[in-house]
């Protein structure tokens, strides 16, 4: 999925090795706590008690609050049927990166 590839490349630039801290077992793109940005926010700011959701906080921090960019980077989608597809695409991307990292270290 091209949007996830763009989002992963974006995260590579702003949050190196972001894929290492994502819990793919609990990853759910339709949940602001368990999505990619929500999990990254909790990792970066473990004691934060923001008024915004972790997802919204990361959109503010990483995208300057430009919510229009979020769907283009695969961080959210419109329509209920696409959330599972998006979650699976992120899981595949994360697992691909982890496998490449393990291969490079071998």
Helix pair angle (2-14, 36-44), 10° resolution: 10
Q: How far apart are CA 75 and CA 59, in angstroms?
A: 9
Query: What pTM did the predictor assign?
Result: 0.87
pLDDT digits (tens, 9 = 90+) for 39-84: 999 888 777 666 778 899 999 999 999 999 999 999 998 776 689 9
95 CB-side CA count, 13 A: 9
Any idea what DSSP says for residue 78?
Answer: S
């Amino acid at each position: 999925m091209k949007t996830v590839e763009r989002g992963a490349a974006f995260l590579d630039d702003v949050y190196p090795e972001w894929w290492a801290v994502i819990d793919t077992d609990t990853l759910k793109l339709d949940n602001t706590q368990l999505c990619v940005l929500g999990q990254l926010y909790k990792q970066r700011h473990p004691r934060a008690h923001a008024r915004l959701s972790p997802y919204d906080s990361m959109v503010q921090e990483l995208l300057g609050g430009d919510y229009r960019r979020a769907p283009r980077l695969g961080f959210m989608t419109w329509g209920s049927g696409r959330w599972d597809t998006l979650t699976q695409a992120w899981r595949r991307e994360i697992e691909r990166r982890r496998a490449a990292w393990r291969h490079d270290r071998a």
